[in-house]
Structure 1
């Protein structure tokens, strides 16, 4: 028992959040409407032209060219609890934030914590475990954690702001896709439905936790070594949502071979049981007008739009060890085609 009157070992963190993980993102259509017209800029002596990647294509992180020829990659990502275990939540949130730098082809150098905590409801010992999880994953990534910021909030949230470096001539961008290039996916789908089942039933899915806490560092390294120049990570907007953004930014269409897409054990069963988040349904509604689903049934559509948390990289190019799930083609009537 703690000073809050709550037994630390009895707390289910997911019950203190209206949603879970990246499924809590503002829907992509609403987000694009909100930021429309916000143009990049910079202070005197630091022209907007030095911003290599900004808001224009909705890429994973901002990239700025430095006078010495290097590039700085910077991002921020945080969300509500996706699992009940506080240490695992911290690890997942940190891996997810670091992923934005890896998805640009960068190397994270320093991170700061972003923590919102209902201090009158939940033990501070739990918050410490969240921060410990984040620190351990950042340390594994070789990224220094230099403090952060916290607020008293009715709903717990955690993540990181991360800064890294990259070679500006070897970035992984979401607007560099070209027709004829295969699409590789470095982690299986199904995190959203398994996390939603965990939130509803309390069942623990170790395969989901292991996937979400796995850094995308090695996958990004393999993509760069293979000569890839176009990639994004698959998080809250689902495979179809992030692929739609990539295809639109690159001026191409994308074909997904549904039978080639890998899923975590138990994902299809969780979807069949109805453990589909509102975020996933909003993802599907957003991409549906731009997608030829062919004969794909509703369950397949939902799984392809499943809101992932700390998902894998979607790379335009063949990546050793990753399945090829489709290809980019010349722009057609639909941005996305599911076969």
Structure 2
């Protein structure tokens, strides 16, 4: 062996030893304090929040070294789910899938616990609301739905009474000057069934919860409540460009019991930020028209407060609440 080869070998060994020593001296984050974490949703199985949680959990399990259990706590437009979480220990073992529904339910009714009784954790996505109908039905365009509602009232479907979808349809009724009957459900899965069987003219929901029916050709998209056409569906018109100034966007985040420990929050902020950067997961959520909307706890808390204030102002202005 030449002297140069021996030096190169010695240098390589030195680098390996130094790297190992550095790694040993670098503090590593403590493991998550629970082997099992329960994620609560007010959605029925197959509904938007249920699908969101199950897809997210599959990506987070190897990231956090945790087994996730999704629990569907239905009833009261999210009131039972909020109470379930508010009464849970603030130790990182239970969280709630938060959407605008939990704010609407808090403002439109008198639940035992409201959004104010939960701690924000992180926001994960922003989600676009689409209008859909059955493929073998009479409607091929969004305007045909509006015209039908003008001549024969119409039957429109949304998820829970306190959902963003319900509020979007109420605002659409005012903008279009129609008196369509709006039927609420306990979740997106029930709503889809009533659109498919012809009980309802249209439904409003997220692409992820109707994806299987879209792929099977059973449902047809008619419009989206976003402020611009979606990059993945450039042919789909917005409700606004159809002449009705109604734009809504759903947030999808996580809330916990009050007084979450800072170390628990730090675990989740790191895990969510990393999982959203995973190329495989990015392809999945982009296909479902989900936009990454990561917000840390402080920012998410401010966002929830502003959203609730704006929502309450709208409900009072429209005399839904006094």
TM-score by length of 1: 0.23
Higher helix share: 2
TM-score by length of 2: 0.24
Structure label with greater radius of gyration? 2
